[in-house]
């Protein structure tokens, strides 16, 4: 068992976070480091240089995922993985993703400084395109690695300027020679900011993440009829926006019926023709539901489409509803979760068990590798926002728990 007297360096961790945040820094204090751009390339290069300075071997796979390896004492052991992502939203914050990668680097630096040789090798990962904001597909690198998306399909995805993922990888020189496919690994640990308000609200330092929620996503189109706002009486109206509004109201109700664990959102709405004196003839919008319990999502997926159709048809309009995907809840590995729990307890941090509300690379990695996540609070629960902010001591606590869990796993008795 690793001693708890081994400490990461909080100042070095913070300085490196701030150094990474310079790459793609925005005037409002955030970060714009879109995946597979020149800015992303600069972030990757700084990360590589830091890893190589520690003697780590960096390899890149066919989707640009980076793995920085530190050998263990026993070459027959599978590596323990840790990491997150360095790409950001267009108006993202300094810590979403970067915290997990830079804290992983600090774990490696601490092992290096203290001259600790773990039994198993350790590999620090930077997953490509977690955010999905450039090519419209989140968790792209970890999803391709986990075999959830075919490489061929992912290579063909294009950004708004028509640049494909394949060309973007080539242009920054990060289409690596290693296959984007799962390899045997002993565990994966990811530290991430919570991106929600729960830890802050309850004054907890560490979230012990037990899994991720089930989700179902839809694209909806309501078809009514464009008509003159001044001349069309109620009996002749087929107002697509009114029909959509009834669905939006229903999504919110279905969420609230499920208490504090419920999630239901319409986040996107396109009204056509979007003219103030035309009754809207068509509305396209998104719908999504999330819940920690698979049964709740399966129940919604079974009943919501028919219910929505009935609401729309009562207004004289029609509904096309396409289910985009349904992801089951992903429980994390109990033994890995326990290492997080024990690490935090030994260090005396206040903790809370939590289910991840957001998608993370860890969710796809968990399909192949025993996985756990660590959450730390973020100010006002704000993320995907340039104002995203955390305190240096919060980053340090998360990093120290990451260190404890990774080292304990890498030295466990087999």
Binding residues for Zn ion, rule: CB under 5 A, are 96-97
What minimum distance in Å lies between the beta carbon of 220 and Zn ion?
27
What minimum distance in Å lies between the beta carbon of 116 and Zn ion?
28
What minimum distance in Å lies between the beta carbon of 85 and Zn ion?
6
| Nearer CB in complex with Zn ion: 61/87 | 87
What minimum distance in Å lies between the beta carbon of 140 and Zn ion?
13
Tell me if 360 is assigned to a ligand binding site: no
What minimum distance in Å lies between the beta carbon of 297 and Zn ion?
22
3-state secondary structure the chain: CCCCCCCCCHHHHHHHHHHHHCCCECCCCCECCCCCCHHHHHHHHHHHHHHHHCCCEEEEECCCCEEEEECCCCCCCCCEEEEEECCCCCCECCCCCHHHHHHHHHHHHHHHHCCCCCCCCEEEEEECCCCCCCCCCCCHHHHHHCCCCCHHHHHHCECCCCCEHHHHHHHHCCCCCECCCCCCCCEEEEEEECCCCHHHHHCCCEEEEEEECEEEEEEEEEECCCEECCCCCHHHCCCHHHHHHHHHHHHHHHHHCCHHHCEEECCCEEEECCCCCEECCEEEEEEEEEECCHHHHHHHHHHHHHHHHHHHHCCCCEEEEEEEEEECCEECCHHHHHHHHHHHHHHCCCEEEEEECCCCHHHHHCCCCCEEEEEECCHHHCCCCCCCCCCHHHHHHHHHHHHHHHHHHHCCCC
What minimum distance in Å lies between the beta carbon of 98 and Zn ion?
9
| Nearer CB in complex with Zn ion: 54/358 | 358
Tell me if 96 is assigned to a ligand binding site: yes
Tell me if 291 is assigned to a ligand binding site: no
Block residue for tokens 């360095």: 86
| Nearer CB in complex with Zn ion: 239/361 | 361
| Nearer CB in complex with Zn ion: 250/263 | 263
What minimum distance in Å lies between the beta carbon of 156 and Zn ion?
24
| Position of minimal CB gap to Zn ion | 97
List, in sequence order, the alpha helices (H) in 76-164: 98-113, 140-145, 151-156
| Nearer CB in complex with Zn ion: 96/159 | 96
| Nearer CB in complex with Zn ion: 83/280 | 83
| Nearer CB in complex with Zn ion: 33/77 | 33
Residues that constitute the known binding site: 85, 96, 131, 192, 384
Residues that constitute the known binding site for Zn(2+): 85, 96, 131, 192, 384
């Amino acid at each position: 068992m690793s001693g708890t007297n081994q400490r990461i360096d909080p100042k070095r961790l913070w300085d490196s976070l701030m150094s990474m945040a310079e790459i793609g820094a925005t005037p409002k204090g955030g970060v714009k480091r879109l995946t597979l751009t020149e800015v992303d390339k600069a972030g990757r290069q700084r990360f590589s240089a830091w890893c190589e300075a520690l003697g780590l071997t960096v390899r890149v796979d066919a989707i640009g995922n980076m793995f920085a390896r530190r050998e263990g004492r026993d070459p027959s052991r599978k590596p323990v993985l840790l990491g997150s992502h360095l790409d950001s939203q267009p108006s993202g914050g300094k810590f979403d993703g970067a915290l997990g990668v830079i804290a992983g680097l600090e774990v490696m630096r601490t092992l290096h400084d203290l001259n600790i040789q773990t039994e198993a090798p350790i590999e620090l990962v930077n997953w490509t395109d977690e955010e999905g904001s450039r090519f419209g597909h989140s968790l792209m690198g970890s999803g391709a690695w986990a075999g959830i998306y075919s490489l061929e399909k992912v290579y063909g995805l294009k950004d708004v300027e028509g640049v494909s993922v394949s060309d973007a990888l080539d242009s920054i020189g990060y289409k690596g020679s290693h296959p984007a496919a799962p390899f045997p690994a002993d565990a994966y640990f990811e530290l991430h900011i919570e991106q929600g308000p729960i830890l802050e609200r309850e004054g907890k330092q560490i979230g012990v993440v037990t899994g991720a929620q089930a989700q179902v996503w839809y694209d909806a189109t309501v078809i009514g009829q464009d008509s003159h706002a001044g001349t069309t009486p109620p009996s002749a109206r087929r107002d697509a926006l009114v029909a959509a509004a009834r669905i939006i109201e229903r999504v919110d109700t279905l969420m609230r019926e499920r208490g504090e664990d419920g999630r239901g959102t319409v986040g996107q709405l396109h009204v056509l023709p979007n003219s103030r004196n035309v009754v809207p003839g068509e509305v396209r919008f998104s719908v999504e539901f999330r819940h920690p319990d698979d049964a709740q999502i399966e129940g919604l997926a079974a009943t919501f489409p028919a219910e929505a159709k009935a609401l729309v048809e009562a207004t004289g309009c029609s509904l096309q509803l396409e289910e985009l995907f349904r992801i089951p809840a992903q429980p994390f590995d109990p033994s890995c979760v326990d290492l997080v729990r024990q690490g935090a307890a030994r260090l005396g941090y206040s903790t809370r068990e939590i289910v991840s509300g957001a998608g993370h690379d860890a969710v796809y990695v968990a399909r192949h590798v025993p996985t756990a996540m660590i959450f730390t609070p973020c100010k006002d629960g704000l993320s995907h926002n340039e104002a995203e902010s955390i305190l240096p001591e919060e980053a340090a606590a998360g990093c120290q728990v990451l260190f404890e869990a990774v080292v304990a796993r890498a030295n466990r008795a087999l």
